Amino acid sequence: MSSELNAPLRDTHSVVLGYLLWIFGFTGAHRFYYGKPFTGTLWFCTFGLLGIGWLVDLFLIPGMDREADQRFQGGPLDYSAAWLLLTFLGVFGAHRLYQGKWISAILYFFSGGFLLVGVLYDFWTLNSQISEKNFSYR
pLDDT tens digits for range 25-34: 778 899 999 9
Q: Cα–Cα distance between 95 and 68 in angstroms, integer?
A: 19
If asked whether residues 4 and 67 sit together in one domain, one would say yes
Written as one string, the DSSP assignment of 82-107 is: HHHHHHHHGGGTHHHHHTT-HHHHHH
If asked whether residues 42 and 104 sit together in one domain, one would say no
The 10s digit of each residue's pLDDT in 56-100 is 999 999 999 999 999 999 999 999 999 999 988 999 999 999 999
Q: Give the domain extent around 129.
A: 75-138
- Single residue among 71, 92, 108 that ends a domain in this structure: 71
If asked whether residues 57 and 80 sit together in one domain, one would say no
Q: What is the pLDDT of residue 9?
A: 56
Q: How many domains does the chain have?
A: 2
| CB distance 104 to 122 below 8 Å | no
The 10s digit of each residue's pLDDT in 92-127 is 999 999 999 999 999 999 999 999 899 999 999 999
pTM of the model as a whole = 0.85
Q: What is the pLDDT of residue 6?
A: 46
If asked whether residues 59 and 95 sit together in one domain, one would say no
Which 3-state string (H, E, C) describes 16-54? Answer: HHHHHHHHCHHHCHHHHHCCCHHHHHHHHHHHHHHCHHH
If asked whether residues 60 and 102 sit together in one domain, one would say no
If asked whether residues 138 and 85 sit together in one domain, one would say yes
